[in-house]
Amino acid sequence: MNLAAHSPLRIDQRPLYAQAGEVLRDLVQRGGYAPGDRLPSEIELSQQLGISRPTLREALRLLEEEGSIVRRHGVGTFVAQSQPVIESGLEVLESIERSAQRLGLGTSMAEVAIEERAAAPRELRALGLEGDTTVTSVTRVITAGGQRVAHLVDVAPLHFLRGDELRVYGLSLPQMQDRETSSTKQGEGFHGSVLDYFRARGWPALSHSRTGLSAEAADQRLAQALGVSRGGPVLTLEAQLYAQDGRVVDYSISHFVPGYFRFHVVRRIG
């Protein structure tokens, strides 16, 4: 398929290689290519897009990191085999882990960090709090099929969530006893999500979540955590979890690698 049939690269604030990556992603996903099909050569693609080959290679690297393509040195670029996709409706409040389990997909957690610290101004506003307030922050990376697919940060007021309580969540009694004589890891015992933890504990009584969905370019911190290129696109969910009494019990920012997640919304006629 000739890329000239696609819309020209938009002039926006993203690097040119990120714009080219979006067009190439559309080509791979909607251009009639099947897994294993070979894409046009770098010379052909760069001419059709009107960009330099170094810029094209950066765009191809983005897609390779996402798992959309496979590059074989001296052979060519091929459409990758289909990868597991975690699909979730935004009208349903559930964790990534539960969504994956429902679809028969396995996930695991990496680089878990739990700390009690002073809330940042943005976090205070999101939680509806003022002054010097201590919060529990939970940061972790989610992997699926050996690939880093999501970076999650939860922030909750200390009176709703304590770090020590969360660290032993999921440990059996023997493990908890052994913990007293061993060094404590930052996320020891914790698995799953803060939402699932609240549900398992039975408190606070949860009501709903207010969630915003956007796309943004990965900064250096996110790029390193997710193993993607700086400036590459990530999906972002920013959410406030409310208790039935109206208080915000958790503020979260979740970043997802495109290609591994699909979100949808059921909209009724008003």
Q: What is residue 175's predicted lDDT score, i.e. its pLDDT?
A: 41
Q: What is residue 11's predicted lDDT score, i.e. its pLDDT?
A: 54
d(CA 149, CA 145): 9
Please give the share of the chain, as a percent, with pLDDT higher than 90: 36
DSSP the chain: --GGGSPPPP-SSS-HHHHHHHHHHHHHHHSS--TTPBPPPHHHHHHHHT--HHHHHHHHHHHHHHTSEEEETTTEEEEPPP---EEEETTS---HHHHHHHTT---EEEEEEEEEEEPPHHHHHHHT--SS-EEEEEEEEEEETTEEEEEEEEEEETTT--HHHHHTTT--HHHHHHHTTSPPPTTTT--S-HHHHHHHHT-SPEEEEEEEEEEEE--HHHHHHHT--TT-EEEEEEEEEEETTS-EEEEEEEEE-TTSEEEE------
d(CA 173, CA 60): 49
Q: What is residue 173's predicted lDDT score, i.e. its pLDDT?
A: 38
pLDDT band at residue 167 using 50, 70 and 90 as cut-offs: confident
Cα torsion angle, 261, 109, 236, 160, sign: positive
CB 114 within 8 A of CB 108: no
Please give the share of the chain, as a percent, with pLDDT higher than 70: 86
Q: What is residue 2's predicted lDDT score, i.e. its pLDDT?
A: 45
Torsion on CA atoms 262, 268, 269, 270, rounded to nearest 10: -120
Q: What is residue 4's predicted lDDT score, i.e. its pLDDT?
A: 45
Higher pLDDT, 133 or 146: 133
Higher pLDDT, 258 or 135: 135
Q: What is residue 172's predicted lDDT score, i.e. its pLDDT?
A: 40
pLDDT band at residue 148 using 50, 70 and 90 as cut-offs: confident
pLDDT band at residue 62 using 50, 70 and 90 as cut-offs: confident
Start-end of CATH 1.10.10.10 domains in the chain: 3-79
Fold adopted by 86-264: Chorismate lyase (3.40.1410)
> Which range is least confidently modeled, 167-171, 184-188, 219-223?
184-188
d(CA 264, CA 85): 13
Contacts of 51 (CB under 8 A, 6+ apart): 9, 16, 17, 20, 59
The neighbouring-strand residues paired with 151 are: 141, 255
Start-end of CATH 3.40.1410.10 domains in the chain: 86-264
- Tell me the per-residue pLDDT of 6-23, one tens digit each, with 9 for 90 and over: 444 555 667 888 888 888
CB 66 within 8 A of CB 258: yes
Q: What is the arithmetic mean of pLDDT over 174-198?
A: 61
pTM of the model: 0.69
Note the CATH number of domain 3-79: 1.10.10.10
Q: What is residue 170's predicted lDDT score, i.e. its pLDDT?
A: 61
Q: What is the arithmetic mean of pLDDT over 142-159?
A: 90
d(CA 245, CA 180): 37
Higher pLDDT, 123 or 143: 123
Mean pLDDT of the chain: 82
